Amino acid sequence: MSQAGREAEVQMLGEHRYEVELEWQGDRGEGTSSYRAYGRQHVVRAPGKLHEIAGSSDRVFHGDRDRWNPEELLLSALSQCHMLAYLHVATNHGVVVRGYADAATGTMQEDGRGGGAFTEVTLRPVVTVADASMVALADSLHAEAAEKCFIAASVAFPVHHEPTSVVAG
């Protein structure tokens, strides 16, 4: 392996750092003087990103239903991570993916003390493959993709998979 190849491999196996910026936009003139006195609106930015994410809390927690809430973003991160890992694994195994869609759901349980936690997430990817001979392998690759998903490996609740493979055309 060349020196450049070794350096690239070390970089790939190294530590990766990410940065985001959060700005609260919910001061209605009274700050947090009471639970209902402030808005939950905020924006999330990251260096180099073209668009910010308009966020809030879930509507049930006095949030703005038109903005993304952290629970939806967590679910989205899990769905995206699995898809990206799956596409990588499929490529490595010679499965030609022509389409991918997911209808993910998650359950969060309040604990009665003002907090709570997710208890599970279920991903329901529908993968469109190029040929019928690829369906069985395509279905089996979700297990390997789940092992490679950094986000799923970082959460303390089960992430279930209910995949379906279909043939293009």
The pLDDT tens digits of the residues spanning 86-126 come to: 999 999 999 999 999 999 999 999 999 989 999 999 999 99
The pLDDT tens digits of the residues spanning 136-162 come to: 999 999 999 999 999 999 999 999 999
Q: Are residues 39 and 102 in the same domain?
A: no
Residue 122 DSSP SS3:
strand
Residue 83: CATH number of its domain: 3.30.300.20
Q: Measured between alpha carbons, how far is residue 168 from residues 119, 120, 137 in Å?
A: 35, 31, 15
Q: Are residues 147 and 83 in the same domain?
A: yes
Which residues lie below 8 Å from residue 36, measured CB to CB, with a gap of 6+? 62
Query: What is the rounded CA–CA span in Å between residue 18 and residue 89?
Result: 24
Residue range 5-10: average pLDDT? Answer: 55
Looking at the 3D structure of the chain, how many domains does it have?
A: 2
Q: Are residues 46 and 12 in the same domain?
A: yes
Supply the range of the domain harboring residue 142: 70-167
